[in-house]
Structure 1
Amino acid sequence: MTPHTVAILTGASRGLGLALARALAAPGVRLFALARTVSTDLAGHWREQGGDLEQIPVDLSDAGAAQQCADRLAAMLPQDAQRYLLINNAGTVQPIARADRLSDAASLQAALQLNVASPVLLCAAFLRATASLDADRRILNISSGAGRNPMPGWGAYCAAKAALDHYTQVLHAENHGVRIASMAPGVVDTSMQADIRHADRADFPQLERFVALHEEGLLSSAQDTAARILARLEHPDFGTPVLDDIRHYSFDQTSQ
């Protein structure tokens, strides 16, 4: 069966990525789900929903693996769909440390590869593979408010998300005929938030704020956030603005 929608999603095995992967499942949708691990539960969910799922195990913090995966996707994307989506969701907040302690080159390189370089590689592959197609093409880069507001202790993460935001604006300015946005998803109840709550207070002065958000039930669920993000991605004016924030919309507004 010819798919109506072909989608690529990174970080699909847990948290917001898993919620997005589950919400995308539908007849006529083919999803290439990229993650370090393969999920049998996700595969079963897609079978039940009648969609076509291909899980690609890859560590996108590894430059060589990311390059090979991007090239593979560029060569294998179906060419007869009506819509193509790329959702760069995978990311890490690590390493959490004040500037004078950001001294581990390997962890910095892995974080920048995962948060910035791999999305750039996948965008390039997506653009190459779909450039000649008469189809609706959309790219969603999952950013963070940390890319737009400095957060002590998050030097690596803030720098990476700011870079992703600016890259997205460059991609828009180049006018590839693709609707594109860099979306801040808000504070979502995922394993990343658990990592943040276990940070050293000496490295992350705002630790108590994030602990309180969790204890007071103020974190958004991954499922609700995924639904809101996909509704926005479907909206006719997706890509306006290029730097977006899901908290600017009610669910009704994004689903109109």
Structure 2
Amino acid sequence: MNPVVVVTGASKGIGLAVTTILLKKFHANVVAISRSTTPQLLELKSDALLILECDVSKALTGALQHAANHYQGLDGLVLNAGTLDPLCRITDDTPLSSWKKHFDVNFFSLVTAVNAAIPSLRRSKTGGKVVFVSSGAAQKGIAGWGPYNAGKAAMNSLCRTLAEEEPGVVSVAVRPGMVDTNMQTTLRAVGAFSMTEASYELFVKAHAEGKLVKPEECGHVIAALALRAPKSFSGQFVSWDSAECAPFRKE
């Protein structure tokens, strides 16, 4: 049987690219989990694709259990679902409830997903893989990105801990770079209100000069790692364009 990989946040951007590559290049069975189903995701529909609509902050356990039962197991888990909202300063009037809602999506859903998937990943004949889609923000405190910075840093910590606790499963966090997705559109539209001028202009300039990463470029690395990430990567935070990821990039 072909390997089975779950992708959260699969309806657009990086998640859609990863789903497409897993299906078309690596011939994997894919469970696409997203809050809603887009026309682009529906275009990929086949016997190898199971689409599940799910709010990752509320119903993820059931979705993953259904996925594992449907395919009699799981081999990989790509944790890509996330939100940038709220863009805010630590000391502004953003209510703490907004920070908590952010963490429900960007961090606590990861814990839920791992708990639900790990029994199947332990039994994977190819060796279970968990790929956390992280960000350079995990290491750099970009002004105006308080919740996002903290959530991605917590993600990387979770990845390291999972690698220690589950040595039979490879867990790796990947920095996809500045990717041409809806997040970048949002940043250009409203980022100036909370970011520093220098940081905001960096993103605007990258878009204007055509330097944003294409989702299928970093997505190829993520898809490949979900199937064949080596033990040496476990617990690591790697950049999609690093030398160590060269074997997993699109040829």
- Normalising by structure 2, we get a TM-score of 0.87
Assess, with a 3 A threshold, how the Cα gap between structure 1 residues 148 and 159 changes in structure 2: closer, same or farther.
Answer: same
Aligned letter for 1:213?
A
| CA distance in structure 2 between the aligned counterparts of 1:77 and 1:109, rounded to whole angstroms | 33
| CA distance in structure 1 between the aligned counterparts of 2:6 and 2:188, rounded to whole angstroms | 30
| CA distance in structure 1 between the aligned counterparts of 2:2 and 2:239, rounded to whole angstroms | 27
Aligned letter for 2:130?
I
Aligned runs of 1:201-220 on 2, under 5 Å? Answer: 201-205=192-196, 206-220=199-213
**1:130-189 Cα distance to aligned partner (Å, 9 max, x none):** 434544211100000100111111110010000000011000011341011011111100
Paired residue secondary structure (1:126): helix
| CA distance in structure 1 between the aligned counterparts of 2:245 and 2:163, rounded to whole angstroms | 25
Are positions 1:166 and 2:157 aligned together?
yes
**Gaps in structure 2 of 5+ consecutive residues:** none
Assess, with a 3 A threshold, how the Cα gap between structure 1 residues 172 and 208 changes in structure 2: closer, same or farther.
Answer: same
Counterpart in 1 of 2:220? 227
Q: Kindly indicate whether the alpha-carbon contact (under 8 Å) linking 1:213 and 1:219 is maintained by their aligned counterparts in 2.
A: yes
Counterpart in 1 of 2:248? 254
From 37, 51, 55, the counterpart of 2:51: 55
Deviation at 1:202, TM superposition (A): 3.8
Are positions 1:122 and 2:118 aligned together?
no
Paired residue secondary structure (1:7): strand
Counterpart in 1 of 2:36? 37
Q: Kindly indicate whether the alpha-carbon contact (under 8 Å) linking 2:206 and 2:212 is maintained by their aligned counterparts in 1.
A: yes
The farther-off stretch of 147-156 and 99-108 is: 99-108
Assess, with a 3 A threshold, how the Cα gap between structure 1 residues 214 and 182 changes in structure 2: closer, same or farther.
Answer: same
Deviation at 1:7, TM superposition (A): 0.8
Paired residue secondary structure (2:113): helix
Paired residue secondary structure (1:136): coil
| CA distance in structure 2 between the aligned counterparts of 1:84 and 1:102, rounded to whole angstroms | 43
Assess, with a 3 A threshold, how the Cα gap between structure 1 residues 239 and 54 changes in structure 2: closer, same or farther.
Answer: farther
Assess, with a 3 A threshold, how the Cα gap between structure 1 residues 250 and 243 changes in structure 2: closer, same or farther.
Answer: closer
Aligned letter for 2:206?
L
| CA distance in structure 2 between the aligned counterparts of 1:233 and 1:133, rounded to whole angstroms | 12
Assess, with a 3 A threshold, how the Cα gap between structure 1 residues 183 and 102 changes in structure 2: closer, same or farther.
Answer: farther
Q: Kindly indicate whether the alpha-carbon contact (under 8 Å) linking 1:4 and 1:28 is maintained by their aligned counterparts in 2.
A: yes
Paired residue secondary structure (1:227): helix
The farther-off stretch of 97-106 and 87-96 is: 97-106
Alignment: residue pair count = 246
Assess, with a 3 A threshold, how the Cα gap between structure 1 residues 228 and 39 changes in structure 2: closer, same or farther.
Answer: same
The farther-off stretch of 235-244 and 146-155 is: 235-244
Counterpart in 2 of 1:65? 59
| CA distance in structure 2 between the aligned counterparts of 1:233 and 1:72, rounded to whole angstroms | 20
**Gaps in structure 1 of 5+ consecutive residues:** none
* C-alpha RMSD over aligned residues: 2.4
Assess, with a 3 A threshold, how the Cα gap between structure 1 residues 42 and 178 changes in structure 2: closer, same or farther.
Answer: same
Q: Kindly indicate whether the alpha-carbon contact (under 8 Å) linking 1:15 and 1:222 is maintained by their aligned counterparts in 2.
A: yes
The farther-off stretch of 157-166 and 95-104 is: 95-104
| CA distance in structure 1 between the aligned counterparts of 2:131 and 2:93, rounded to whole angstroms | 29
Q: Which of structure 1's runs of 4+ aligned residues deviate more than 6 A?
A: none
- Normalising by structure 1, we get a TM-score of 0.86
Aligned letter for 1:39?
T
From 77, 82, 90, the counterpart of 2:81: 90
User: Relative contact order, CA 8 A, sep 6+: which one is greater?
Assistant: 2
